[in-house]
Amino acid sequence: MKIKNETKVGILSAVAIAILIIGYNFLKGNDVFSSDNIFYTDYDNVEGLSLSKPVLVNGYQIGRVSKMTLMENGKIRTEFKIKSDLDIPSNTVARIISADLLGSKAIVFELGSSTTLAKSGDPLLSDVQANLLEKVEPLQIKIENLVVKLDSVLSTVNAALDDEFQDKFKSSLTSISGSLENMEAITQEVEELVGSERLRLANIMVNVESITTNLKNNGGKLNSILDNLDNFTDSLAHADLKGTIDNAQMTLSQVEEITRKINSGEGSLGLLLNDDQLYNNLSNTSARLNTLIEDLSENPGKYLKLSIFGKRDTK
């Protein structure tokens, strides 16, 4: 059976119209081939929101904006088509959020905790998130003020950083660089010295360890010595040091007085030390006495004459 061209054109036109209707409804957020639940809410302002915008839960799309109607009270009633297999609590909040910095909006369902589920055609609570640009605007003002202050500070710094200051600053950097190089050289010399003296340092550490070991082993003796020293200091503390010092000072005063009298010629010892004539006489007398004693020892008969009969011979 041959189909006429008019029939073909009619069939194609019907298919095209059906596709057009389906596509139009899809763009409006209406899924022709599925049964969705419809919910709505009223907003004071829906700037940036349009039909077919997604409805999200935790970033997952569950539906679309299907219809927007201006009410007599000035509010905009917005309807959502949500998949029928999803349970929506009755206290769910439909919040308008900013989808990007260009002002595009989307709907986010903040699922409530109610055990009562919303039925198709029920209203939901509404909320509008602040625009990102509105949040950024105060920060932008602060940044602009900060930039102005920073520009003023930089101008002041540039005025202070004249050529002379820059030259001094460069000179200071050069000096610091030289100091760092010297420090590096000193550090290297110290490392070399430590390397060359490592054996000696090891011996010193061994000696130190030996000393500490001896101190540890002779702790009892050290404690005894310290106890004796403590007893000695206690004895000194209880001794009559003041009386002893006073007696010593008195003795020194007496010695000083005797020395003064001797120097001034008082007394026999003073006369002997200070009178040259007396000293010479005593010296001569002592010499003569020594001569007499020597002669007496050598010639006793010269001075002592004894008679056998007890009589002294006379001439």
Average pLDDT over residues 59-83: 91
pLDDT of residue 135: 57
Give, as one character, the DSSP assignment of residue 273: H
Q: What is the pLDDT of residues 255-313, one digit of tens each?
A: 887 777 777 766 666 666 666 776 777 777 888 888 878 777 777 777 666 554 555 55
pLDDT of residue 142: 79
Q: Residue 172: pLDDT band by 50, 70, 90 thresholds?
A: confident
Give strand ranges (E) for the chain: 36-43, 54-57, 60-70, 76-83, 93-98, 105-110, 125-128
pLDDT of residue 3: 66
Q: What is the pLDDT of residues 237-271, one digit of tens each?
A: 666 667 777 788 888 888 887 777 777 766 666 66
Query: Is residue 30 within 8 Å of 72, Cβ to Cβ?
Result: no
Q: Nearest to residue 79, comparing CAs of 126, 32, 21, 130? A: 126
Residue 29: is its pLDDT beyond 60? Answer: no
- Looking at per-residue confidence, does 285 or 55 come out higher? 55
pLDDT of residue 315: 46
Token output for 77: 């009633």
Q: What is the pLDDT of residues 73-123, one digit of tens each?
A: 999 999 999 988 889 999 999 999 887 767 788 899 999 888 999 998 899
Contacts of 204 (CB under 8 A, 6+ apart): none
pTM: 0.37
pLDDT of residue 108: 92
Token output for 291: 């001569």
On average, the pLDDT of the chain sits at: 78
Say how far residue 186 (Cα) sits from the centre of its chain: 28
Residue 43 and residue 97: Cα distance in Å, rounded?
Answer: 13
- Looking at per-residue confidence, does 93 or 147 come out higher? 93
pLDDT of residue 305: 60
Over pLDDT 70: what percentage of the chain?
A: 77
